[in-house]
Structure 1
């Protein structure tokens, strides 16, 4: 059979062959202990669950690797860092990426005495930057700046130096970008965002083509007890079926909003990788498979952002992104090194004309 399209994979992934009399989408499995008998079967809920495996199969097919489900995006990041790094290892992380990643490295991994280097997503990446490095963690497009780096080139350079390369793929999603196909060793994401997309689930995952690493991550999940709930997993699998449709509408809305905001006197610093004159557009076009719904801009200050949210009928303030509802987050309030009026806008699935009219009416 020919390679299936994204929409088909999203709808059918992980569900197995249909059987007469069975539901099209079986419900979650809540079992804690199982009847013992099959030595290869489930025996205790912390070690395995059919609902996990179904979603892992679906996401793994989209990512092009073996997927391990975790209870949040930060659980996915921490699981990778703890599985790969040892005492005294050298680690490269993005200085402009998700702030909690850097906080976790500084505080929770302090006992490892890591040699941590922070580099902006766009570099510069000097020739010796990978010398002695154990793990390179990229985030592209970066959150919240939406800068992009060359995954394939950095993977080649990291591998020549003996380093592993991991990519936080949260902003792009598995159907927007496939880091493993571009040479990355690990792709991870907060599935709380666009992948599940209904603002009702906390979840994360790690995908890798390294079967031994995947097994280590599963063992760590079992021993630590950092496991996803079966109902949350089932909700995520149900939501995955519409990812292709949701991402398409969100990208349409982002394009319409960006076009409407270009040249607006109250708006500066407008960035979206899908914008032809965006600094990241050329590279993003080469490695991303489609655009998403997240863009950024700046208003005069924090008060201007608050007034914008107050005046809008459709846009709300929220720190997550990728959901059905359009949201904004003033990132400076969380300690990100950005201007006080910096806004990360997550376009939802509203009618494009309604959303553009609302945003323009809410701006000062």
Structure 2
């Protein structure tokens, strides 16, 4: 079985008010890429992956006016994908949902949130992801209230063979210091936002501990927007979100080989899953942001990871059409896991 995670930049902008693809020459959200070009590129990438399930990060908008499920299923129908059924969880207000596209002939997946519901007062520990977490962020003996701008998607999954496991799709993000009065104020806001992101990682880790301690097979997929050497706050906080979510050997650890490689070295080439243009420096920045982390039970089922990086993966580089599609489709590249379940 092949499972993927893929952050699709400005996916919501490719659909009209009725959740149909806007396959035209208007500009997409990507620089110098039309909607038709991005749609064609995405179709090429999804068909090349041929995954049984894809955790779509930054999925189309959902709410009163839009349905991410309908939009994704329309996209799947347009390109005749096997992964043609969609499921999502709690709606957010960022126009960047988290949803799963899957092949209903191979598996069934349903939204199955865990943890207690909270009131406006919040709760400690690991409440339901659409609730409020009470946690002391800055060790001042006063609890802060933390929410997810994009609540993780918790899924109960069962394969056709009867194997049951859990998926959690996540998109953690530290907000930019908007509204800063000066550089010092910007730094203050940025540090506070990073504390909130780390608190979200602690919250997610609490849910992971519950599942793995019960020996429930679990994988965590998505864009964590954090990792070793990624920014100036690493020394300040000691651990990244990635390290918190992975856990330690005595703490129900998860495993991702790309994260393990990056954490194990500070110099030399590292795997990357994204490529961003830095206009001020006139160059591209590459970073490892996207992961598929598995528990020990799943690690024993012959997993094989792959980053579909058009410049680093020989098969992607050797296929000119796929190489161009990967660059055109998004600023992130898919990560896949082939596993015997």
Q: Tell me if both proteins adopt one fold, taking TM over 0.5 as the criterion.
A: no
TM-score bucket (shorter structure): under 0.3
Structure richer in helix, relative to its length: 1
Structure whose CA Rg is larger: 1
